Amino acid sequence: MTATEDEPELDGRRRRWQEHNQVRRQLIIDAALAVLMRQEPGEDIQVQAVADQAGMSRTVVYRHFEDRADLDRAVQRRICDELWEQLLPALAHDGTPDQVISRIIRALIDWAVAQPSLLWFVGRDVADWGPSPLSQAIEQVAEAIEGIMTVVVMALGVELSEDDLAALDPWVFGLIGAVFAAVRRWLERDTRAPAPEVFAAVLSESVWVQIDGIARTRGVSLPDLPIAEFFQMLRSDEERGE
């Protein structure tokens, strides 16, 4: 058999080995999440407990991750992915902008109450380069909110200044980041007060007052319309060539 004939077989073996490693890696992450969810917030994950949960040795665990920081980052990314799945339905366009804000915050609080250890762990500072999984999750939510705000502004025919446009991204990111920080602080207190629904209402009102206030200072009065109608307004303008 020639070298050329050997290549497909080698590629197949390499692909099967990579798939095997990926399955093992996901199994370890699943095990880490299972351990984490059994623990109290603030209680660190022991690698041996993860190995026992996964049914393998510590040596095998570290064979699939560069170091402890790599494992922690992978767990944080999984947590953020699952959190995004929880928040995504709240971004549906069947509500007014303030209702969407309220739904997102309530979904975040409900998830945090159900999974306090996950919220604690995802906020940990893991020694590594690049943005943290939590900051990327905040950016994902912020981009969705910013997109909605942009559609509303365009549908109303408002022209923002270059400075306003440049400030929109970091400003919205800061708003969402503050919500995450507030929820974590509320969750970590010895007495969890006010009640979740009350706290969600307070946070929602705070965020909306800032958005509505900024709009009003620029002469924009936000109508109480479902977001879907703003999209329809844009489509109608495009059809008319405006």
- Over its length of 242 residues, how does the chain's per-residue pLDDT go in tens digits? 455 555 565 565 666 656 667 888 999 999 999 999 999 998 888 999 999 999 999 998 988 888 888 899 999 999 999 999 999 999 988 899 999 999 999 999 999 999 999 999 998 887 666 678 999 999 999 999 999 988 888 888 888 889 998 999 999 999 999 999 999 999 999 888 999 999 999 999 999 999 999 988 888 888 889 999 988 888 886 766 65
Q: What's residue 157's pLDDT?
A: 85
Q: What's residue 84's pLDDT?
A: 93
Compute the distance between CA of residue 152 and CA of residue 50 in angstroms, rounded to an integer. 47
Whether 37 and 120 have beta carbons less than 8 Å apart is answered as: no
Look at the domain 75-240 and name its fold: Tetracycline Repressor; domain 2 (1.10.357)
pTM: 0.85
Q: What's residue 22's pLDDT?
A: 80
